[in-house]
Each structure stands twice: as structure tokens, then as C-alpha cells.
Amino acid sequence: MESPFLKAVRERVVIYDGAMGSLIQDMSPSLDDFWGKENCSEVLNLSRPQMIRDIHAQYLRVGADVVETNTFGATDIVLGEFGLQDRVTEINHAAVKLAREAVSQFSTPERPRFVAGSVGPTTKLPSLAHIGFDAMLASFVEQMTALIQAGVDVLLIETSQDILQTKIAVAAAFDAMAAAGRRVPLQVQVTLQESGTMLLGTEINAALAILDVYDIDIVGLNCATGPREMNDAVRYLCHNTSKQISVLPNAGLPHNEGGRGVYKLTPQELADYHKRFIEEYGVHVVGGCCGTTPKHIEAVVKACAALQPAVRNIKPRSEVASAYTSIPLELDGQPVVVAEEMNTTTRVEHFKNLVRSAKYDDILALSKKLVAEGSHMLDLCCAIVGEDEKGYMSSILEKIATRVPAPILVDSTEADVVEVALKRIPGKAIINSINLEDGEKRTSKVLPMAKRYGAAIIALTIDEEGMALTADKKVAIAKRIHKLATEKYGIRSVDLIFDPLTLPISTGQEEYRTAGIETLEAVRRIKQELPECRTILGVSNISFGLSVYSRRVLNSVFLREAVDRGLDCAIVNYSKIYPLYKIPEAEVEIARKLIFQDSSNGDAL
């Protein structure tokens, strides 16, 4: 059943309140009001309840549809800085009660009003190791569970400055809903600096790619800047996600006057910007943040409440992201290149030796070199028999996850290693991989992780009978995994990447001579029959056993044939792939004959 809040958002423009802190300052509470804990505004829910209730009422009186609870810093992380870590539930319950009491005075069946449970970013940045994933998660779960139990209509994760913090908060929101036994709408807002990125450098395209995978109802922006500075990011969001969009700007950029931040954007200016966001871009949720007053919200209500938002018809996109930028898993005519050199299980010992020697600076240098040479993503495998794979994975990601602009493929057969990695990665990672070799044993562990941590997944065409050798069997397994992932675990089709696998055609083994043909046909059919999914291949498998130069030629030709059939991604040493025009025509022809088993002029081997 659709929540009344989401029904309102779907049907019309929904208008939030404005600043809480600015109005608190205007009321000049005493140090005693703060219980001697200066600037701990959450205390006022207990010490000055009428003040907080009156602020809510000021916004509701001018027509706001939603008021935010006075709980921006009401986690044990923030409250602990004031010695109030044991009063999280009490403070959050009190804040919801005050907001609910105010709303009840203005809400009608025709125009219901709502309470949003405000959840701020805390004072810690997990991407910079200020706090661990699990510790921050527990803090958010405690606050959000209290907010849900007290009766909020929507959870609002706002002013997110570190995208890993945002991911942790989202995971916590669903944990809290499970703990409280109640599903509530989830709204998530990031904050962009004047530079156009989040505090740690995350671009809006990366932030959206990271968040779009989750079952979030509304995604948007708030704080740091005014609506003028937000314009490009708002347009990007509206053009690139099917989720509803929210925009809650500051009243412009603050000006320092007498040591105090003063906001100059007028109520009418804010209303004019919101009118544009609604009518031109299709925004459904607007409001204000720092410096916005009841007068600002009154102007927005008068200008925007009756507007019809522009219609948006956006389909989900296949994307992954680093901590900084996104990579679409579909580049016109070219494969997305995944570097294969950061893998301890290959015959080349260099990376394994770096891992064993804990030479993390050298590993960082290698990862940057691979990106500079043209790789779009990095496949990271740290498995060494009998050694601490989990420790290796964690240590390497601690070094590279926020220092390399390329998304990570977490390559491990161990579910606990995958989970440790996903907790370290701020971006949207890819899990490499799942299959059906042991039935649903591995998928039952890994697919819930993909859902929880917002990852894409590579699925291999292997089932209980082993690796599929024919195109028909490869496609059948792909469809089986697709049905399982989407229907049982709620994974989006655009986040599934199928690897139809190929075996060497260069060993002379007769049963594998058609392996290239079958794999290429499987790529074509998966693209045709599962059009929202993506495909990937470990290209160099095709040439195992040949000389170095011959491998380069065969790999290059096979990659071109695969791309022509729709291959999206290739795990390959990109520096060893030649453009076909750089290979003698006769050698290209021999490679094609080998791939397509053309023996009209003798065996190509």
C-alpha cells in the first residue's frame, strides 16, 4: 500500500519547511536552555519543547507540507560529544512528538501534513577512516529506529558530505525499518560544495550512480549552496534517474557580517528558482535549508504549490562508480576495459609479491598506472592459498579506494571477503562473481550483499553440470540467474553483468575448437534476450598456450569480434591489445579463421 506521503509526492508538488537552526538563533535561547551544552540544538526538544513546536507551526502556518524533526545531530556520535549518548531514543522520540503535535493542528484529509525524521551526517567521515562502517551503522540504526517507532512519515538522510557515510546511512535505514517492523519512505540528499562536488570530491554523476541502485524513494540536494549553484546538478538528477527529486537549498551563499553568516537570497528569488526546477526539470519536492525562513517558504508555497511538474520518463542505467566519478557500462563501439593485472591468482607473480610484501604504496602506483594506460576499472583479487585474503583485501582498499578514480571489481570466491571489501568502498563496486556450480549456495550469500551494499554483480555461465560450452546452455544459465537475482533478491537487471566465459581455442583439443564461436553467439543472444543486462569477458582465456605475440593478435581480434556482437566490458591487459589496423591483415585473417574454425585453407593452428 502506497504511503500517504509518497502519494502526495506523486500527485503534486510537496513543500518542505526551511531552516531550524536560524530560527532557534533568532529566539536567543540561553545557555541554561542548552543545559550548559552550547549549540546542542537537540537538547531543546527536552528543555524548550514549546520553542521547537512553535518553529514547526510557523512553517505549517504559511503552507509547508512537511516539517523536519529537530534531530539533525541526534545520533550517539554527535550527542556523545555533549555527554548525551545515552539519551538518543528519548531525544528522538521527543522531537517526533513535538513535530507530530504541530502537524496535527494543520493537517486535513484534503491537505495532509507530514513529519520527516531528520538524520544528519554526524561529525565523522568514514572514507577518511574517522569511524568504521559497523560503528557508524549502529549509531544510525539507533537513531532511525527511534524515529520510526515514534511515527515519522519519512526518513530524511540529509546534508551527506561523504558518499560512504550516505551508503552506511541507507543500510541503517533498512535495518531500522526491519527492527521497527515498519517500512517508511526514504529520502536521501547529498550536499555539493561551490566546486560542484561533495566534500571529498564526489561528482553528482557518481553520487547518483551509487545511490540509484538502492530502494530509495527520493534523492536530492540540500545545504552548502543556493539554488543558482545547484541548477546543473538538479538538471542532471532529473535527466538521469527515475526516482523523485528533492531540492532544499540554502538562501544563497552566506556572507560574513560581524562574524555571523548572513544569507541574502530573497523569498521571491527562492520561489522563482523552485518554479523553474518544477516546470522545466520535473522536481516534485522543494523547500529550504540554512537561512530560509517562513517568509521564504510562504513565497514558495504561493508560487509553486499548484504547479504541474514536468513529466520525466527515465529508464535505469547500467553504471558503476569510484568515490569520485561514474562509468557507464556501455561505451558506443568500445568496451569498458577492466585491468586484470591486480590479481594474485594469475601466472604473473608481480602483484602477488607486492601483496605478500605489504607494498601498498607500490600497489597504489600500479593502480594509477593502469588507469593512466586506459583501464576504466580495476579487478582486485587478493586470494593466496593459506594466507589472509580478508586482511590483504582490506589493507589494499584502505590505500586505494579513495585515491584511484576507477571503480573496483571485488574478485573473490569467499563471501566474507566480499563483504569486508564492500564496507571499504565508497563507490559502486562490482562483485566478481556468482554462478550456480553449487546451486544457490553462493548466490544466497552474495546477492543479498549486492542489495545491501549497492553493488553490481558479474554472473558466470556455470551451473551444477559445470561450465556451459554451447551458446544455448550459456544463455539458459544466464536467464536462470537473471530470474533468481531479480525476482528473489530484488536485483535490477541493469546491475547484472553476464560472463559467458570462453575456453582456449589454441590448445588443439577438439572439444574446445568451437569455444570462440559459442561464446560470441552467447554474447549476441544475451544482449538480445536480456537487453537491460550487460556482458563481460576475460578475453585472454581464448589464447592460452600460444606465444606472447600470437596471444596479443588473437586476443585483439577476438575482442573486436565480441564488441561487434555487443560485448560491454572486457577484463584484459589493455596495453597488450592492438587496434586491428596495427596488425598485418594476414594475421588478422588467421586469427579469425581460428576463432570461427575455418579450415578451408588448412588448420589455422
Q: Which CATH number fits domain 4-304: 3.40.50.2030, 3.40.50.1370, 3.20.20.330, 2.40.10.340?
A: 3.20.20.330
Query: What's the CA gap between 497 and 569, in Å, rounded?
Result: 9
| Per-residue pLDDT at 604 | 53
At 388-410, the pLDDT tens digits run 999 999 999 999 999 999 999 99
Read off the amino acid at residue 19: A
* Res 133 pLDDT > 90: yes
> Under a CB-based contact definition with an 8 Å cutoff, are residues 273 and 345 in contact?
no
Name which of 169-173, 200-204, 360-364, 543-547 the model is least confident about.
543-547
Q: pLDDT band for position 22 (50/70/90)?
A: confident
Averaged pLDDT score across all residues of the chain: 95
Q: pLDDT band for position 571 (50/70/90)?
A: very high
Name which of 211-225, 392-406, 457-471, 585-599 the model is least confident about.
585-599
Q: Report, as an integer, the average pLDDT of 177-193.
A: 97
Instruction: Show the CA angle centred on residue 43, arms to residues 40 and 46, nearest 5°.
Output: 170
Query: What's the CA gap between 104 and 100, in Å, rounded?
Result: 6
Beta partners for residue 248, in sequence order: 222
Residue 519: phi and psi, rounded to 5, are -65, -45
Cell of 333: 563501439
| Per-residue pLDDT at 148 | 98
Cell of 8: 502526495
Cell of 317: 542505467
| Per-residue pLDDT at 257 | 75
Q: Report, as an integer, the average pLDDT of 2-8.
A: 96
Q: pLDDT band for position 359 (50/70/90)?
A: very high
CA proximity to 348, closest of 551, 506, 509: 551
Read off the amino acid at residue 392: Y
At 98-118, the pLDDT tens digits run 999 999 999 999 999 999 999
Q: Report, as an integer, the average pLDDT of 594-603.
A: 73
- Mention every residue, 6+ apart, whose C-beta is less than 8 A from residue 500: 461, 468, 471, 474, 475, 478, 519, 522, 523, 526, 535, 537
Query: What's the CA gap between 273 and 287, in Å, rounded?
Result: 11
Q: Report, as an integer, the average pLDDT of 544-572.
A: 94
| Per-residue pLDDT at 210 | 98
Chain centre distance of CA 208: 6
CA proximity to 55, closest of 25, 23, 31, 81: 23
Q: How far is CA 24 from CA 3, 45, 156, 418, in A?
A: 31, 12, 20, 46
CATH architecture of 319-595: Alpha-Beta Barrel (3.20)
Domain ranges of the chain: 4-304, 319-595
